Each structure stands twice: as C-alpha cells, then as structure tokens.
Amino acid sequence: MSAVTIIDVSPRDGLQNDPKWTSTEDKVALIEKLVRSGIKKVEATSFVHPKKVPQLADAKELLESIAHFDGIEAIALIPNMKGYERARVHRLSEVNYVSAATETFNEKNIGMSISQNMSQFKELVKEAKKDGIKTCFSVAVSFGCPYEGDVKEDYVIEIVQQALEAGADRIGIADTIGIAIPNQVEQLMAKVLEIAGETPVAIHLHDTRGLGLSNAYMAYRTGIRIFETSASGIGGCPFAPGAAGNLATEDLCYLFERMKVQTGIHFNHLLEAADFAASLSTKTPLGRIRHVEKISEKGNAV
C-alpha cells in the first residue's frame, strides 16, 4: 500500500493553547525526540503576534536552537506578511499560511477578511519563491465553524482554487473543531484532490468527538497521503471554543503500521516522544495507543 507522510504539529498546535509556559528547552527536546522517531517534517512554531499566542513568543530562539538538527524539515505557521518577514531569515523548508472557510472565523483568527487574506498570500508566495521556501495554504474550519455552523464544500473548493492559482506548493484541509464525519471527509477530499492535480494535499484532523482516526482512514482511502497530527493528541485552537486536541500521531501511526502502510517511523521512539509531549501539557491528552499497547522487543506493536 502507498506510503504516507506524517507531519507532527505538537510543538506548535499541541502547545499553543496551553496555559502553562513551556520552555524553549522543552520544546527543543520534544522536536529532538520526534526526529529521533523518524518524523522528518515538524511544524515547530508560529510567527503569530506574541500577544495573541504567548506560548509561541520564542519562535526565533526555538528555530535557532534546532537549526543544526539533521533530518528535519522545519515548518512554521505564518498568519500574514509581517509573520513571514520574521520567519524568512530562519532555516525553514516550508511556511504554513492559514485562511478560514468562513468570514467570522477568519476575522477572529487572522483579523482579516478572506479576500484580504488571499491578497497577502499572493504577495507572500512571490517572496517565498525568491527565498526558496515552500508554501502550504491551509483552510481552517473546512468541515464546520464554531461561529457559522455548517460550511459548504463549494466555499472550501473556491478558496483552494484561488490558493492553487496563487502558486501554493501544498494544500491543507483542516477539521479545526473536530466535527467532520467520514462521508464528509470522503466527499470534500475527493474534490480537493481532483482540482489540486499534482499539488500535494494534506489533512489536519482534530479528535474532539473521537472520529479523528476514522476520518484519517477515509482520507487515506480517498487518496490523501499527508497527515498533520500531534504527539499524544495534545493541542487545540485558541480561536475555536470547545475544540479539543489533535489526532494523536502515535494512534495514526499504529493504524498505518497494522495496515502495512509505510510511515518511516519507529514506533517505540514515537511513544517516547508522545509520553514527553503529554508531560508538557496541562490538558488530558487524547492519544489512546500509548496507554494500552505493549511493545515487543523488536519495536513492533503487538
């Protein structure tokens, strides 16, 4: 079966909303453990204004601390051009630019209309191409919004089409509040894949209602091969009331390993990273496998 790429977002999305300050040293240690497990792509931090997300105010220091890591492709979330100006000086393989599928969420999350957001993205893409940095355009609340309710697929597709025309190197579809069900995932992701063509498409799943793994399986069946998850399932969006943590990296890895889908991840080392991620969070982690699985001496789940 086709191999997958798992992008771990726990250092950014996993910790951004935690009320307890996590030291830069602990964030670096978490990233080091993730890389040791075989995860090559890590969304390490964000260049959101520190007043909005104080937990990630150390973005500069963090990226400087991991610049020497071998085998890592560091990603940073970028809310606007000002954020990109701060990020571009660092060793980044990619920046993740976020818009929303609804105007209300976009205003609360980014402080701009969707149209204004797209205009800035077009400007950013031009600069990123000059700098040799790839761009991912992610669409938040693609399956449902905490302020506007149901989201029409056509809205998401229209935003994706504009991002593709602007030159996005990757598209991300996010279930920010964990409201999606498998048939929604199948329908929307099939349409996104069709218009994306050769441009890679990722899915970012939250596990608020316990359907994250089912949705990931359906996304894989539909053709998605890039998944954004968080070690131990920590996290949640500070601008989405009631949103619980992310789909746990180790839970998804366990599923794929049992399905004989190659992940390139060493499961034992991943569990160590997940345990450490859980220790950094004040919230109850959503990950399940690390609590119940016994690991054989060969490192395979049994």
Question: Which residue numbers are catalytic?
Answer: 237
Q: Can you list the alpha helix ranges (DSSP code H) found in 110-152?
A: 114-131
β-bridge partners, 265: none
The separation between the first and the last C-alpha atoms of the chain, rounded to the nearest angstrom, is 21
Which residues, at least 6 apart from 169, have a Cβ–Cβ distance to it below 8 Å?
94, 134, 135, 136, 199, 200
Question: What is the largest distance, in Å, between two alpha-carbon atoms of the chain?
Answer: 54
Alpha carbons 172 and 192: distance in angstroms, whole number = 10
Alpha carbons 213 and 236: distance in angstroms, whole number = 16
Give the other-Cβ count within 10 Å of 127's Cβ: 14
Torsion, CA 135, CA 31, CA 39, CA 43, rounded to 10:
-20
Torsion, CA 14, CA 178, CA 284, CA 266, rounded to 10:
-60
